[in-house]
Structure 1
Amino acid sequence: MNIQPILLGALVLMLAACSKPEPVAEYPYQQGDAALKPVATVSGDVITRAEVDHALAFYSSNPFASSQEGKNNILNEMVEDQVFYKKAIENGFDKSPEFVINQRKLLAHEYKKYLQQKVGQASVITDYDIGRFYQDNIGQYTKPGMYRIAIYFRRANQEKPQYTLKQIADSVQYLESGLGFGKYALTSNHLKTNNRGGKLPWLTAESNVAGIPKTVIQTGESLEIGNVSDVIKTDAGHYLVRLMEKRDSQVTPLDAVKPVIREALLKKKKETQMQTYLQQAKDAYDIVIYEDNLTSTDASDKSHSFGPPGFPVK
């Protein structure tokens, strides 16, 4: 028996099956029988209990709305709207671009909202997903190491200083590290810090401070706490740096960020599924764009509304 044709046929069937697009998941709108019960008709057009319930929910903050008189008023308003709706249809207003756009947008919005709810219910984020994301993005949950320095600056053209830079460096070694350059900073030419011991705010290796060379900032990180650097020469003058405090980098525990990660992953998963659904739905329809007609459209046509599509609200 020659099995080669059989295998070839099976392979063709498999390829044909794989080439078929995945069916679009459908989420039909569902209502209970009670919701479909009529509360009024207008020439055969039914106003259902579900419609009245929806209107009552909208007016739920008004105690009068839930009374029998309030319900009658709401129903009467719906009947009048239905009458005007039928007259509008009879007079061709359902062909109005504004109505068509509003109807399309409203129905699309309602279905997207309903679909997002269903997709959310079906989306599952496991502890493994959370742990994997945490490890892959550990940098997001790591506070960088920080340090605090004090600086002393002397302009290059300063004459007859009260202390030499070496005297200052030697003297501050006897001060607590948290004091920075202490009283000696009062003679510093860095006016923003000379009245507070030369202290700068907490920094990281990536920090920049306006007016202070990067080399000065980086030198401070490499010191031992309490130590003073050698003289740092720049075009503007000379600097001394003292390291006051240092904090190691800290990793936020997984348990502390697990709810945030779960929410972020769930949001991303729902967005991906919604985009997949939209693409599958678009692929299922025959969409044709008439470029010539699009080019000839005219926004200055006075017969159309100037405002954006919107629904009247009382």
Structure 2
Amino acid sequence: MTGTRLIIWFISVSLAAAGGWYFGQQQKASPQVEATGEVLAVVNDRSIDKDWFVEQMKLRGGLKSGQYHTVEQRQALLDFLINQEVVFAAAQAQGIDEDPAVDRLYKKAVIDRFLEQQLNPKLEAIKVSNAELQNYFDRHQEKYSRPARRRAAIIHVAVSTKADDAMRQQKRARIEEAIQHMDQLEADVMHFGELAKTYSDDRASRYQGGVIGWLINHASRDYRWGRQVTEALFALEKNGDVSPIIETEAGFYVVRLVSAEQVQQKQFEQVQKGIRSRLLQEKRKQARTEFLATFKTQADISINHEMLAAIAPLSAEKTDSNKQPPALPGTAGGQ
């Protein structure tokens, strides 16, 4: 690491340790002073005053018991701060304070401090009332209920799309034969048992009594067996009931209700904490947007859209279908 980069790195670490705003404060010129009164120490023409030293104690664990109770502990902190001043002066002598990288650090420190003073108190003051919580819950009942679902078993006799009427009748006769043997099943068996293994062409379920799992009767849910099968299942009333034969382009189905669960509704008390967090985030996001908008309307902003469009991406395009939006910058800078 070169001397220049080492100094930049040291300044960066020192900035973070000092709370992000120390560098901005040190940019200001200080008059020649002596280490008397409220001034704790002087390094060249810069002073380290008592109040600022106490602030640094707080930032470095001074509120914990046993910290900075001895002069040696306080001297160690003062030595660290003096070292910062010495290195800072050496960096200035080499023009490091004019380096673009340092300028970006300074800008970030100023922005962070500004937001800490001007925006954060506004965000902390935002509250969500109980009435707002209840209103949100009442308007979004469907989000807090699990729809009724049913566990199904099927027998599927597949038919080729090229099959003629005679072949389709032959396939239908096969599933009718399966239904005729239903009385061979044990009374406590709610699925199709061995009949699925003998008659069903659905490989995923035929060795499990035809059981295909839980289905939900909702317009947003599509299953590979088709809506006709789902609708037939939800038309059944009690466990063990069997549907009539269902004819589709893929062949013939018969569906059996294995078990059912009714709609499960969550109570307001169970979800109000999550609702409060959601509404608080939404309010704070809106407050940030409005806060930044007041300054953007006063600024003279010009964008070269052609240049923006011509900038090449740094990585290959994602190939999956679930593309995510690009990452945004962090909170520094008010984004």
Runs of 5+ in structure 2 lacking a partner? Answer: 1-37, 160-166, 309-335
1:242 positional shift: 0.8
Deviations 1:226-269 (A, max 9, x none): 22111112344321101122222222111111111111111111
Partner of 1:279: 293
1:254 is aligned to 2:268: yes
2 CA distance for matches of 1:265 and 1:109?
25
1:46 is aligned to 2:57: no
Query: 1:52–1:75: 8 Å Cα contact kept in structure 2?
Result: no
Query: 1:150–1:180: 8 Å Cα contact kept in structure 2?
Result: yes
Question: Could you say if the C-alpha distance between residues 171 and 115 of structure 1 is closer, same or farther in structure 2, counting changes exceeding 3 Å?
Answer: farther
2 CA distance for matches of 1:132 and 1:204?
28
SS where residue 132 of structure 1 aligns? Answer: helix
Question: Could you say if the C-alpha distance between residues 216 and 73 of structure 1 is closer, same or farther in structure 2, counting changes exceeding 3 Å?
Answer: same
Query: 2:157–2:175: 8 Å Cα contact kept in structure 1?
Result: no
How many aligned residue pairs are there? 252
1 CA distance for matches of 2:303 and 2:241?
75
1:129 is aligned to 2:132: yes
TM-score (norm 2): 0.64
TM-score (norm 1): 0.68
2 CA distance for matches of 1:130 and 1:79?
53
SS where residue 201 of structure 1 aligns? Answer: strand
The 5 Å alignment of 1:185-264 reads 185-187=196-198, 188-206=200-218, 207-210=221-224, 212-225=225-238, 226-264=240-278
> What's the RMSD between the two structures over aligned residues?
3.4
Question: Could you say if the C-alpha distance between residues 113 and 197 of structure 1 is closer, same or farther in structure 2, counting changes exceeding 3 Å?
Answer: farther
1:182 positional shift: 2.4
Deviations 1:118-165 (A, max 9, x none): 123311211111111112222211211111111012234688969803
Query: 2:39–2:47: 8 Å Cα contact kept in structure 1?
Result: no
1:70 positional shift: 4.3
1:182 is aligned to 2:188: no
Identity among equivalent pairs (%)? 21
Query: 2:242–2:255: 8 Å Cα contact kept in structure 1?
Result: yes
Amino acid at match of 2:207: N
Query: 2:194–2:209: 8 Å Cα contact kept in structure 1?
Result: yes
Amino acid at match of 2:155: Y
